[in-house]
Amino acid sequence: MKFIYSVIKTVILSKFKVLKYSKYDFKINDELLILGNGPSLKTDAEKLLQFKEKKDCLGVNYFAASQLFEVFKPAKYVIVSAEYWKGDVLSEWHNDRMKLFEEMINRCNWEMILYVPAIAMNDKNWQLKMKTNSKIKIRYINLTPLEGSPNLVYPLLKNFLGLPRPHNVIVPSIVVGLNCRYSKIYLSGVDHSWLEEVSVDEKNNVLIGQKHFYGSEFKNRSSLLSDKKKPVYWDGSGKSRRLHEVLLKFYYAFRSYWELNELSKIYKSKIINLTENSYIDAFERQKLS
């Protein structure tokens, strides 16, 4: 029943708009290295530079604003937060996100595919801005949650008509790797140590300090990128989440990894976690040498 509901919801929300953009299989190498934005990425950067030989790289979120962007030169890039293209978000955050795209346009001088949610198709000004860099190609994906057995979910997933609940950018990043038929998908910078950072203050505000690899490098950016403890907001609106809502968000993220691990078997691909002390328990682990 859940699967039937997922299919109906997917068809209604997508209106098949994404299909014409999703028929591609561009890759240079047979293996993919996903560069998450956890704090371990900074620690592991030198080892990863050696490890990435004969692998494509994939960056996420604010990676394009960091010094590592031009070092790793990702062939693929994923941003799925709908808040980037919604009007009802805090202006400070909206401006900082638009600044990110300007940095991406100015710094990317290699071929790169940028994967964004289907809602971005409604932002014509953003599309025109991105077209000023012919090296960056845009692909749209549908964020409709898919639920059901792997064999039933697969036909929709392979066309980007939905995803296992995408409460973290790494979920769609792995789907990109699977749909591009990489034989191995390596995960770095996926600490996911949020549970260590959750607290509740005396006013019952739920706070979390989300640490990233860029740290002080982004100290002059908006509060959105600060690693200081702050509320977890609903869709960038300024309305904070309650503790059970925060923990439910975590639950969906970690459950999605187990679903992706099962789906990877259909794709005949292997997902390997390189991040030491990562909280993700769904994938095979491997140490960086």
Q: Read off the pLDDT of residues 32-64 as tens digits, 9 standing for 90 and up.
A: 999 999 999 999 999 999 999 999 999 999 999
pLDDT at 4 over 60: no
Q: What is the pLDDT of residue 197?
A: 87
Q: Which residue has the higher pLDDT, 283 or 230?
A: 283
pLDDT at 255 > cutoff 60: yes
Find all residues with CB under 8 Å of 16, minimum gap 6, and list them: none
Q: Is the pTM of this model over 0.75?
A: yes
Q: Is the pLDDT of residue 6 over 80?
A: no
Beta-sheet pairing, 76-78 with 206-208: unpaired
The pLDDT value recorded for residue 219 is: 57
Nearest by Cα to 285 from 213, 219, 187: 187
For the chain, the domains span 2-194+242-285
State which amino acid sits at residue 261.
N
- pLDDT, residue 78, reads 97
- Give the Cα separation of 86 and 94 in Å (integer): 9
pLDDT at residue 129 is higher than 50: yes
Indicate the angle between helix axes 150-157 and 170-179, nearest 10 degrees.
80
Residue 88, pLDDT score: 66
The answer for residues whose C-beta is within 8 angstroms of residue 91's C-beta and 6 or more apart is: none
Cα–Cα distance for residue pair 194/277, rounded to 1 Å: 12
CA distance 185 to 177: 7
**Dihedral angle computed from the Cα positions of residues 219, 71, 74 and 263, in that order, rounded to the nearest 10 degrees:** -80
Say which CATH class 2-194+242-285 falls into. alpha beta
Q: What is the pLDDT of residue 43?
A: 93
| Helices assigned H by DSSP within 212-276 | 243-267
